[in-house]
Every structure is written in C-alpha cells, then in structure tokens.
Amino acid sequence: MAAGYSAISSYSRVEIMHLVQQQPQRPIAELVEATGLHPNTVREHLQRLIDAGYVVAETERRTTRGRPRVLYTAATGEEQASSPIAAQRVQDAARRGDLLRRVYPSGEEENLAPDALHQLDALVEDLGGAGFDPLIDETALTVDLTPCPHATTADHRGTLCRVHIGLMDGVLAQAGGPLRVDGIAASCDPAQCVVQLSLQPSASSLTRSGRE
C-alpha cells in the first residue's frame, strides 16, 4: 500500500479499523469472523491500533459466570472512547503549535479561537506522522492532502477514505474543540483529496472575528 497512516499500512488493519468504527465494543470473535484472520493476528493488529491511539480496549462487565471478554472500540474522543495515548499526543501538539506561533508570528490576528487552532495542530501532526503533507486553509477550513496516495487503490479506496475520515474526526474530537470533518470535496481527479472541516454551532465555535 502507498504512504498513509502507518498504523493502518496494511489493509487488514484498515478492515479492522473500519469494523470498530462501524460498531463499538467488538470482541475478538466478531473481528475474526468478519475478517477471516487468525485470532492472534487480529490481536496483533489491534495492539498496533491501540498503540497509535486509534482504538481503545475495555474489559466486559459481566453479571453471569464466565471469563469477561475484551471489547474494542474506535477512539472517538468521547468519554467512553477516549484514548490516553491520543490525549497525550494532542496536548503535546498544542504546546508545540503555541510555541511555533510565538516564535514565528504571522503578524495577523488568528481567525480561529485557540481550541480550534489546537485541533489543527493535532491534526497536522497526526497526518504528518502518517506520511501526508497536509496544507491547511484556516479561512476555508480545508485540509488539502493532494495527491492522494490511495488514488490507484480502486478496490479498497472507499473503505480507506471512510477510515481516514473517521481517524481525522477522532483526532479533532480528542483535541476538544469546535472543528469536525464534513467530508471530502467532490472531484473528477482521483488524486485530488481536499477534506472540508466545519465549525460546530456552539459558543466555542465562534471565531475571534465573529465575536468582535
């Protein structure tokens, strides 16, 4: 597979990630049945996804006899699906982003509130670590990932796109702020990939200019 999220550089992990994004609290047995992979292989893939901060594991609470299962859920940033690994990464990204803005000030007032800027810091670091070179337009709220490294993977491209969008939205949610992923802009060129973000309607989603 071409360059992309290193944790899902194999399609087997992409498939597993897609399954846990579709339905939370998946046990190993369900993932084995859905993928046809050996249980130990599924466990290895899940551990890679957990280490990347994309999946969280929890032990099943049972009221009957029997060994509790481990259940796997996509890290969405919500209370029950928050990854401590991802949380630490977004905090580190925010600190580095603030430092860069102090050292290299743009000379213009930022359009976005600090929490939204910290979300973009986390997203840029996550995408950069995955081999992408994202171009952020803070005014248009777009993330340009052109050229798409998966443009030639026609057989699995739809699943890859959905998984990547879910991961990006999870990073934004984990960072805690008003930005969310709206989707990918339509294009006739399969190599073009521009992700559209949106500000959620809340008090924290206002830009500084909007509050003036």
Using one digit for the tens of pLDDT, what is the confidence trace for 44-93?
Answer: 999 999 999 999 999 988 777 778 899 999 999 887 789 999 999 999 99
The label of the residue with tokens 């993928």 reads 35
> Is the residue at 106 inside a domain?
yes
What total of structural domains would you count in the chain?
1
> Is the residue at 81 inside a domain?
yes
Closest CA to 170 of 53, 57, 81, 77: 77
> Is the residue at 76 inside a domain?
yes
pTM reported for the whole predicted model: 0.86
141: left (phi over 0), alpha (psi -120 to 50) or beta: left
Amino acid, single-letter form, for residue 209:
S
Residue 122 CA, chain-centre distance (Å), reads: 10
**Domain containing residue 54: CATH number:** 1.10.10.10
> Is the residue at 117 inside a domain?
yes
Tens of pLDDT, residue by residue over 6-40, are: 787 888 999 999 999 999 999 999 999 999 999 99
Q: Which residue range forms the structural domain that includes residue 134?
A: 6-211
> Is the residue at 1 inside a domain?
no
Tens of pLDDT, residue by residue over 107-118, are: 777 789 999 999
d(CA 95, CA 134): 19
